[in-house]
Chain A
Amino acid sequence: AQSVTQPDIHITVSEGASLELRCNYSYGATPYLFWYVQSPGQGLQLLLKYFSGDTLVQGIKGFEAEFKRSQSSFNLRKPSVHWSDAAEYFCAVGHSYNQGGKLIFGQGTELSVKP
């Protein structure tokens, strides 16, 4: 069955430090992968996506993610975290259209940023 695992429920980093959020997926075909960010009480904002091609994808707000097929991973990184990055981060894999284009979400990782 298709699934997404985010092993870290909560991560705290210091402002200015680097960040890596982990995401592992289980999907039969080539996955479409996404990272979303959600600030408290807000909707989800698409940070970046991977469909094919270059396995290192750049997103908004200085985020990047690397697709590693051999490890079934799609980890999110940022070289220097800002206090405004504190939020909930969701990794997701996208189903094919004939299954409605459904997104399968991980459980989320809450990021706290220390001053």
Chain B
Amino acid sequence: DTEVTQTPKHLVMGMTNKKSLKCEQHMGHRAMYWYKQKAKKPPELMFVYSYEKLSINESVPSRFSPECPNSSLLNLHLHALQPEDSALYLCASSQVIATGTTRTLGQFFGPGTRLTVL
């Protein structure tokens, strides 16, 4: 299995709703990422999980709450979002090389969740 899956594909929510995005991979990757992408722009990194621990939070507002229940699963919990949060939310995963100069071998992206906040 060489893919990253994301559910749902589309989500419409009001500003008072609570919803969650789900991401799953079965490639044995130990780094997982959430990105936000606006139209005609590159993805913007939101969070990085490494070995199920949050390693990077790119100053994301607290209305976005990530969770990594196990090495295959990554969730993004959404609460009290704003219309400007409407975007394509992408999940990615990567293998981690544990060497003296550790790097990732490139990230594999899911198809994304198209989120619309009304």
Can you report 15 residue pairs joining A to B where beta carbons are below 8 Å apart? A34-B106, A41-B112, A43-B6, A43-B109, A43-B111, A49-B106, A97-B96, A97-B102, A97-B104, A100-B56, A101-B31, A101-B103, A101-B104, A103-B45, A110-B40
Interface residues of A (CB under 8 A from B): 32, 34, 36, 41-46, 49, 51, 88, 90, 94, 96-103, 105-108, 110
Majority SS of interface residues in chain B? strand
Contacts A43-B109, A45-B109, A101-B31 given; indicate if A96 touches B48 (C-beta within 8 A).
no
The answer to whether A94 and B103 touch (CB under 8 A), given A100-B50, A105-B43, is yes
Q: Give the residue of A32, A44, A108 whose beta carbon is less than 8 angstroms from that of B103.
A: A32
Measured CA separation A43–B42 after assembly (Å) = 11
Q: Which of B48, B105, B114 contacts A41 (CB 8 A)?
A: B114
**Size class of B's contact patch?**
20 to 34
Looking at the assembled complex, report how far the CB atom of B16 sits from the nearest CB atom of chain A, in whole angstroms. 27
B110 touches A102 (CB 8 A): no
- The docked-state distance in angstroms from the alpha carbon of A82 to that of B37 is 26
Closest to A110 in B: B40
Contacts of B94 on A, CB cut-off 8 Å? 101
Across the interface, which residues of A come within 8 angstroms of B111, CB to CB? Answer: 42-43
